[in-house]
Structure 1
Amino acid sequence: MVMQRSRQQGNVIIMVALSMAVLIGVVGLAIDTGVTYMVKDKLNAATDAASLAAARAVSQGADQATQTANAKAAAGRFFAANFPPNYMGSTGKMDDPSVVFNSGKVTITVTAQASMPVSFLKLLGVSPLKPGVVSQTVRKDLDMVVVLDTSGSLSGSGANVITSATTFLKQFNADQDRVGLLHFSYGAVIDDPIRPTARGFDRDSMINHIKNYSFSGSTASPEGLYWARQQLNSVPTANLNRSNLRVIIFFSDGAPNSFGAYLNWKTASDCKTAGTIATDDDGSGTPAGLYYLDRVSDTLGGKCTPSETYDYALGRYQTLPDKVSSLPDWYNAHNPSTNPNDPTLREYAVVTSSPRVVTNTITYANVNRASRNLVEAMARKSQDEGIYVFTLGLGASLKAGTGYDNEKGEDVLKCMANSTDAPARCFNAAKPVGLYCYAATTSDLTPCFSKLASAIMRISK
């Protein structure tokens, strides 16, 4: 009996020892695996940041050798900034980045490893773990138009807008990327047309134009977006001139409230010129205008701008509804003056039942709603053609309801971008999905522009 009990006790000790070894192994595996995953996630974030930084930096330099050196230097800086020394007891190391130029695109590959000691598993003879990751960014030739709002509400933020926009332009390759620039208020001004055949853009010219912007007038967003799409489509598809990646960058601090049109005048001879008809943002009032389509803030004058004429019979200045019978059925601001309502040129409906009801009558509701309908329709048409729309909004006013429907301006910007956080009525996953970035204050502008630049770098087909 004593011998049997001793044997049983010995078996229990062996079983406990084996169980402890298994338990230590399981605990060690859980701890070390968890730490490994954390280190690997950090490595992934660091190499992603490094590859995107390299993709931006590769735009700098007049030759491939300089561009490669700039890309590798940027990758090193961003990897070091995003993977701190001794993170979770590990030692991270980034390999020499690969920068490959091939037929109008640059492929940047960043690999990295981390050597990290094991804890409990070391007792079982397990060697140090060495997780590794790979991040790749394809930087393609780009056709892009930058559209900047210069309306009066931005007058206090103008200096920051100018600085942030010029910084944004420096992230693109002036020799390879094809870029156009325009700004808008009542009308739209094309500062630097996109090059229809040659690649590259004149960055110095664009920066000079931006530095000379003045901020006044209303928010005729449809005029800016109309010309952005026209500029991109001016690049012919023949001989592979047009880039695969086509992007509109659209910046504004408010919702659309104006658009251009040939109006239907009660006396046809009063005005034969297209101009911008405008509302404000407070939800009521009489539409005003007309303003030049190709200037920031100038009225057409004469009979085309009735509010400048005092009517003694009425005892007041005239209004557009006094002189204009109706809005056009279709957006016609840039149609030939000889036949502005040419049915073959109809792309964007003014009079419509969706998404906002608009009739022909010259009222605040119709003009304000049509402005928002048009800019969303123009963005959808661009996306139908494979164009990505990225929008950037500035200021708290975008979060507040404005206009006839008390609708938030940022919802319009999200619809324009077809961003994943856009209202359900306008999001379409089958179309190019863009990005909306909100800058709460002017200090957020540069980070937002940088976010859009990074998003452009990530797009690959």
Structure 2
Amino acid sequence: MMMTIALPVLLVMVGLALDGGRAYAVRAKLYSAVDAAVLAAARSVSDGEDAARAAAQKYFNANIGSSYFDSTPNLDPIEFRYDSDGLIHINASASAPMETMLLNVAGWSELDVNVNAETIRRPVDLALVIDNTTSLRFGDDGDVTQDVIDRSKDFVARFNESFDRVSLISYAFGAENPVPFESHRGFDIAEIRNEIDDFEFGGNGRPSQYTNASEGMWNALNQLRTVSDPASLRVIVIFNDGAPNTFSSEFEFLDGSTYSGSIRSGDGRSGNPRGLWEPDAIAEQAPSPYYIEGGIHNRLASLPLYYNTHDPDEQEFFVINPDHPIRPVTNFTNGGSNALYQRVNRVARNLTEDIAEQARKEGIYVLTLGLGSRLTEGTGPDNERGEDLLVRMANDPSMLNDSDLADDFKPDQLQGIYCHAVNIDALAPCFEEMLEVIIRLTI
């Protein structure tokens, strides 16, 4: 009699333990699947809500089987809510009715398992800085300019026209900003694609190589500093296939005149500096008498103390800096072509790194992308590798694994990434890595 009375109670207790444990496992798996779904939706919402929902369903299915522990998982339609701050709230809910094994004796043939998840996709203000130097026409992979154009357009297309913003900057002898940030959230993808199609890459000839990366970085920083209604996430992505050897400032000549332009060293150990070129153009010579094919060291009175291309009174970034931790620069007073050559090359690299560091200090992530084997070769009077500079610009934590760079890592500053595309086939994956990092930061 006692066993007859106790048996149903024992079966219910065993059923609670068994089916409850199964339900707990289903719930945990369902949570994992829903989390994956909302993250996938956040990554894909730039392509539209339909694309985001499709991505969510795909990742949901991949993370839980169609009959996990005799359950029937189902993802409800993803919901999107846009608030006044430009944030996208992405909500998902899912259920997985599960057949019971023992609780059915107590009338429970099925247990309902339900979960909810939410993530927020932040808008991003992206300054995209693209190398337009002629070396992209004549590198190890031949003319890769069309590849750079195509990959740049693919990259931009992954951002949302309605709430992200994109500013486009190109640089070679100087730098241009053909597409500044809009005054409102969003950007015109057609305009950016057209401007990328019109990239000049230093013209059709093969003039001496000018790489004025610091001018490109300054334009990116200026865009992010002056944009109205800035996003909480601000990013600079800069693409380069070599090392900086050119910088712009207002220069004083021995005859007392001044002119803002770009001056070049080169990639060799020594040489004859050349300039000036217009700082706000890809490849345009300064007018006479400020464009000097050779012998500019005999015409300059000195180097400016500060980088002052855009304002003669600007005093934020040093040109002359004898205390620079990597490349000290002293003034030039008619010391010969090699003396000026060395200083120009060092300043070109210093300014690029210094502007990147200032951006990080202001809460702007810097991501760097390099292409080709030249980045791994020592160039310039100090025989430095171009990729070392790109790693420092990003403040990539991988620096800690390199004894030559470990001391340059800034743990108190934002950390970005550097991706090296060893050849043109690796360019698309590197752009994809940049995108994945940015999307992770938006969530």
Q: TM-score interval w.r.t. the shorter chain?
A: 0.7 to 0.9
User: For structure 1, which segment, 183-192 or 413-422, has the greater mean C-alpha deviation from structure 2 after superposition?
Assistant: 413-422
Which residue, out of 240, 262, 271, partners 2:250? 262
- CA deviation string 1:230-265 (max 9, x = no partner): 1111124xxxx1211111111111111110011231
The alignment covers a number of residue pairs equal to 382
Identical aligned residues as a percent: 37
Larger radius of gyration: 1
Deviation at 1:406, TM superposition (A): 1.4
Cα 1:161/1:460, change in 2 over 3 Å:
closer
What 5-or-longer segments of structure 1 have no aligned partner?
A: 1-35, 61-66, 116-130, 308-317
Query: What is the match of residue 28 of structure 1?
Result: none
Q: Secondary structure at the match of 2:177?
A: strand
Cα 1:378/1:363, change in 2 over 3 Å:
same
In structure 1, what is the Cα distance between the partners aligned to 2:198 and 2:378?
A: 32
Q: Does 1:347 align with 2:283?
A: no
Instruction: Give RMSD over aligned pairs.
Output: 3.4
Which residue, out of 36, 57, 79, partners 1:76? 57
Q: Does 1:141 align with 2:123?
A: yes
Query: What is the match of residue 289 of structure 1?
Result: 275
- CA deviation string 1:350-409 (max 9, x = no partner): 111212111122522111111111011101111121111111111111122222221111
Query: What is the match of residue 175 of structure 2?
Result: 188
Which residue, out of 197, 204, 215, partners 1:223? 215
Which residue, out of 353, 363, 374, partners 2:351? 374
Q: Does the CA contact (< 8 Å) of 2:89 and 2:119 recur in 1?
A: yes
TM-score by length of 1: 0.74
In structure 2, what is the Cα distance between the partners aligned to 1:55 and 1:291?
A: 44
What amino acid is the match of 2:296?
L
Q: Does the CA contact (< 8 Å) of 1:173 and 1:200 recur in 2?
A: yes
Which residue, out of 323, 330, 333, partners 1:359? 330
TM alignment of 1:126-205, pairs within 5 A: 137-155=119-137, 156-195=143-182, 197-205=183-191
What amino acid is the match of 1:192?
V
Cα 1:425/1:275, change in 2 over 3 Å:
farther
Which residue, out of 189, 196, 202, partners 1:210? 196
Which residue, out of 231, 235, 245, partners 1:243? 231
Query: What is the match of residue 453 of structure 1?
Result: 435
In structure 2, what is the Cα distance between the partners aligned to 1:106 and 1:215?
A: 38
In structure 2, what is the Cα distance between the partners aligned to 1:278 and 1:91?
A: 68
In structure 2, what is the Cα distance between the partners aligned to 1:395 and 1:94?
A: 47
Cα 1:56/1:267, change in 2 over 3 Å:
same
Cα 1:349/1:48, change in 2 over 3 Å:
farther
What amino acid is the match of 1:380?
E
What amino acid is the match of 1:448?
C
In structure 2, what is the Cα distance between the partners aligned to 1:258 and 1:442?
A: 25
Q: Does 1:95 align with 2:87?
A: no
In structure 1, what is the Cα distance between the partners aligned to 2:387 and 2:37?
A: 31
What amino acid is the match of 1:360?
N
Q: Does the CA contact (< 8 Å) of 2:306 and 2:317 recur in 1?
A: yes
TM alignment of 1:379-394, pairs within 5 A: 379-394=356-371
What 5-or-longer segments of structure 2 have no aligned partner?
A: 1-24, 98-112, 138-142, 203-208, 333-338, 400-404
Deviation at 1:168, TM superposition (A): 0.7
TM-score by length of 2: 0.77
What amino acid is the match of 1:424?
A
Query: What is the match of residue 107 of structure 2?
Result: none
In structure 2, what is the Cα distance between the partners aligned to 1:426 and 1:445?
A: 27
What amino acid is the match of 1:347?
E
Query: What is the match of residue 409 of structure 2?
Result: 427
Cα 1:198/1:404, change in 2 over 3 Å:
same
Q: Secondary structure at the match of 1:369?
A: helix
Cα 1:282/1:59, change in 2 over 3 Å:
same
Q: Does the CA contact (< 8 Å) of 1:188 and 1:223 recur in 2?
A: yes
